[in-house]
Chains A and B, each alone.
Chain A
Amino acid sequence: MNQEALKIFTIKKKVAPKMCMTVTDLDVWINDTHILNNLQISFPEKKITCIVGPSGSGKSTLIRSLNRINDEVPGFRTQGTVALNGNSIFEKSVDVADLRSRVGMVFQKPCVFPKSISENVLFGIQHQKKLDKYEKLQIVEENLKVVSLWKEVSHRLNDPASSLSIGQQQRLCIARTLALKPEVILLDEPTSSLDPVSARAIEDMMLTLKEQYTLIFVTHNIGQAKRIADHLIFICDGKVIEQGNASAVFSCPTNSQTRAYLTDEFCDC
């Protein structure tokens, strides 16, 4: 019996994924509003972690704290630690611009800059290092291929990015983030302003992206979380109610609130 247990333990230990980002005792306030309350979360490496929860539960605040984009919000205050590969991101010595190129972010509404398609792909990376013409072309082609936009736009790379459809613009935004070669990609409801076909295309793309990147994905669409999540976190009223392996949480949630939310999209917390 003991030997059996040891065997299971060692197997578990072997397959336990490496954690890329960890959140410890995280509290977040904006002015006097206590938005996140004592969070303990681990984000496994090269997996898709879905964060679900009702609106106003603090999902976006959490994901926006992971690359410190919330630093710009007046009255934003944190306590606790968020670590990327073991190093705290809230340390004074951290170069925030460098952190954000290692932890990329895709927003809810696609936002392309009033420039050409290829300039948009290069927008972040060309401010990090000097690129020659050949390298630029290579980066544009490589990243547009990853987001399956290359075939559609390869003949008009110099057209304004605003001429693309909303779904294409969102894929362009993802390509722009991928060009920076980040370790983690945060996606804040990236499909909620898209049509179902474009949304599915992005979901499929994420399943291939997770081979190379750690993806942290906020969604209010439970069906979507079911389709793509490896790891699931359910947040309600600023607290983590349940987290764990997605199929386990979906098939038998231990918490009654989680069960209510996953089946009826209703939460009484």
Chain B
Amino acid sequence: MPNENTKQQTVFMNRKNIDGVFKGTIWLAFAICAALLFFLFGVIIFKGVAAISFGFLLTAASNFGASGGVLYQIIGSILLVLTAALISFPIALGTAIFKSEYLKNDRWQKISNIFIYGLNGIPSIIFGIFGLIFFVNFLGTGVSWFVGSIILAMMILPTITLSAYQTINSIPSIFRENSLALGLNKWQVITKVLLPQGINGAITGLLIGLARAIGETAPIMFIATAFSGVEIPNSLLEPVASLPTHILALAQQATNPAALQNAWGASFVLILLVMLFSCSALIFRLRQKSKTT
């Protein structure tokens, strides 16, 4: 009997130890993750804040970016992503509605998932090369704002589609049944019941997509942007300036401390823009949550 007791005690101790080790490991994982984020933000803020001033935000770049500011880069980046949003949002919303309300077959659901996740998994440089070969060379559009926005729209399409699909699909089916039973047809159910309840989720997806798109360099560097001599484009067919490609070009002049300083400043502005989109996305997500509960 005493033997049995000691055995039980050892098992208990082992369980307790394993529990402790497990707890320690996940705390460590969390600590590493948080430390990385703080380190990155810390460096960018520390190095970037020195370059930031009203002058930096409100003047054009000069001397190949080593002096002057990033006004046209900020405007260019915003123009690129807003146009991408205008192109992508209706297509993503349509796809999400189709997937949630019309595609009832399980096999086709799976196939559509493969398409969407597949599109999401394509490396961004491939989008850039595709844009260069198809739009710039084959269609002869030249390096332009519009082509950059089309490519960015393609990139963020899966993010918006999935987010919109998840919110629309999670609306309980009793809302569909109740509105159908009141004599509404499918089109009315979608526009009067599902979209008003699901639109915040779709907008959350859009903002997350935009937060990603505004930081992309590879897809737009060959097809949409020019480094110097660009102001606000007069038409969709002209090139724009953008923050990420500007940072890339400045970083390549690493021997010039003034250029490097401006690269940190531009990085800081870019991070702020990304955070602006991410925080808005969070607000919309919370609003969606309060609407459904």
Taking Cβ atoms with an 8 Å cutoff, the residues of A that contact B are: 67, 69, 72, 74, 96-98, 100-101, 104-105, 107, 109, 111, 113-114, 123-124, 127-128, 173, 176-177, 180
Other-chain contact of B184, A114, A124, A177 (Cβ < 8 Å): A124
Can you sample 6 A-B contacts with CB below 8 Å? Answer: A69-B177, A100-B180, A104-B182, A111-B178, A123-B182, A127-B188
Q: Which residues of A contact B176 (CB under 8 A)?
A: 72
Find the B residue at minimum CB distance from A68: B180
Q: A111-B175, A114-B291 are in contact. Are A72 and B182 (CB under 8 A)?
A: no
**Closest 10 pairs between A and B when the two form their complex, measured CB to CB:** A124-B182, A101-B183, A105-B181, A97-B185, A111-B174, A111-B178, A74-B104, A100-B183, A97-B183, A124-B183
B15 within 8 A of A: no
Dominant SS at the B interface?
helix
> How many chain-B residues does the 8 Å CB contact rule pick out?
21
Q: Which residues of B contact A100 (CB under 8 A)?
A: 180-183
Q: Is the CB of B192 within 8 A of A127?
A: yes
CA A74 – CA B291 in complex, angstroms?
A: 29
Q: Which residues of B contact A97 (CB under 8 A)?
A: 180, 183-185
CA A162 – CA B182 in complex, angstroms?
A: 19
CB distance from B194 to the nearest CB of A (A): 11
Q: Which residues of B contact A109 (CB under 8 A)?
A: 174
Q: Is the CB of B179 within 8 A of A104?
A: no
Q: Is the CB of B177 within 8 A of A101?
A: no
Q: Which residues of B contact A98 (CB under 8 A)?
A: 183
CA A101 – CA B179 in complex, angstroms?
A: 10
CB distance from A199 to the nearest CB of B (A): 20
Q: Is the CB of B184 within 8 A of A127?
A: yes
Q: Which residues of B contact A105 (CB under 8 A)?
A: 181
Q: Is the CB of A180 within 8 A of B180?
A: no
CA A114 – CA B171 in complex, angstroms?
A: 12
CA A98 – CA B188 in complex, angstroms?
A: 13
Q: Is the CB of A69 within 8 A of B180?
A: yes
Q: Is the CB of A107 within 8 A of B184?
A: no
Find the B residue at minimum CB distance from A186: B181
